Structures are given as C-alpha cells and as structure tokens.
A and B are shown apart, each in its own frame.
Chain A
C-alpha cells in the first residue's frame, strides 16, 4: 500500500508504549498493532483524532504517502 504508518516513530519520540496508547485512546492493542505494522486497510477519523490528541501530533506525522508503493 502506498500509505505508510509511522506510529512507532511518534511513539518513540513521545516515550510512550503501545499498551499505554491503547489504554488512552480506547483502541485494543491488537488493532493498534494492525495499524503500526501497516496491515490496516482503513482508519476511522475518530481513531485518528484520538491518537493525534494523545500523541499531540498531526495526522501527517503518522501517515505518509509513499510514491514508490503506489
């Protein structure tokens, strides 16, 4: 897929674990793992909003468009 997810990088910058983020945004670790590993086919605006709110970032900090993968 041409959209890549850099959630692990943002988490590392904020010093937050996936478990902690899961508890804060109310999304299961399994679903966050799907997102982190790039297996997700879609992301809800509500999930993106909650992640951005907790990580104090913009959607563009998490999602990237990779032209080579398009």
Chain B
C-alpha cells in the first residue's frame, strides 16, 4: 500500500477522520445545547403540561447534568485529538511530516488524553456523590497509549531536528 497519494493508508485514514470529525461536531453541538437547555427543562415541562397531545415524564436533575457534561468534555477531547491527527496527516500528504509543529501536535494530543482521563476521574467522583451514571474505570492500555503518544512526540522532535540538519548539510 502506498504511503501517500490517492488510495494510500494516509488518505483512507484522513477520510475516516473527516467523517469522525463531522459526527463528533454534531454530537458536541447536541450536548452543548443540552447543557444550555437543561436548567430550563422544568419551564419547558410546564409549558407542555397543559397540552393533551404531549406526554412528558421525568425531568432533569444534577446527575443528568453531570452525565451530559461528562459526555461533552469527552467528545471535546476526542474532537481536539482528531483535529490534531488531521493536521499531522496533512503534513504527510503535502510534504514532510518531520517538522517541529508535528512534535508539538503529538504533545498536545498527549496532554488532551491526560485531561480526558483526568476528567473521567473527576466526573466519576462527582457521579458517586450525586448518584450519576458515569464509569470511573480506566484501563492500563489507555495509559500506555498516552505514554506512547508522548514518546512519539519526542521521536518527531528529534526527527525534525535531524531533518533540519540534513537540509542544511551541503
């Protein structure tokens, strides 16, 4: 399989990431709207209460708010990572990937994943207090992946340095 160009793994990955990005954007806007509208749920229920055509049961409490906010943060982190990966793939398709910017991008992906895991623990802790349904478990493979991303960032940093030196070797 070719490394770059049409039908290459990079272009297939980019296509997949573009689709993922759109899905994540829709989900992010949906959850964002849900977070904004959640405090107004009792008023919305009151409006439709008198209507015979609409039946509403239940409402939104703090545990729902925690679950939705957790989803929003998780998707925001995923969207950030997908965007950085798309930028990295762009440099691969339109030139050399061994640039300092890509090392920074990989590092930011690592920090984003760390924030995502930290948020998972924070929301998990809140879910225990407010009886929400947020899983607190974190797998070992996730932490190894985070370390791998930081290692990759260092490899790209060194690769960029070597490329600069190579370009300035006469």
Contact = CB atoms under 8 A, between A and B. Distances in A.
Interface of A: 27, 31-32, 34-35, 39-44, 47
Contacts of B164: 41
Nearest to A48: B170
Nearest to B168: A41
Which of B164, B165, B168, B170 gathers the greatest number of chain A CB atoms within 10 Å? B170
Range class of the B interface residue count: under 10
Interface in B18-43: none
Nearest to B169: A42
Nearest to A43: B170
A66 B164 CA distance: 24
Given A39-B168, A40-B169, 9 more contacts: A31-B170, A34-B168, A40-B168, A41-B164, A41-B168, A41-B169, A42-B165, A43-B169, A47-B170
Interface string B148-170: 00000000000000001100111
Contacts of A39: 168
A34 B169 CA distance: 9
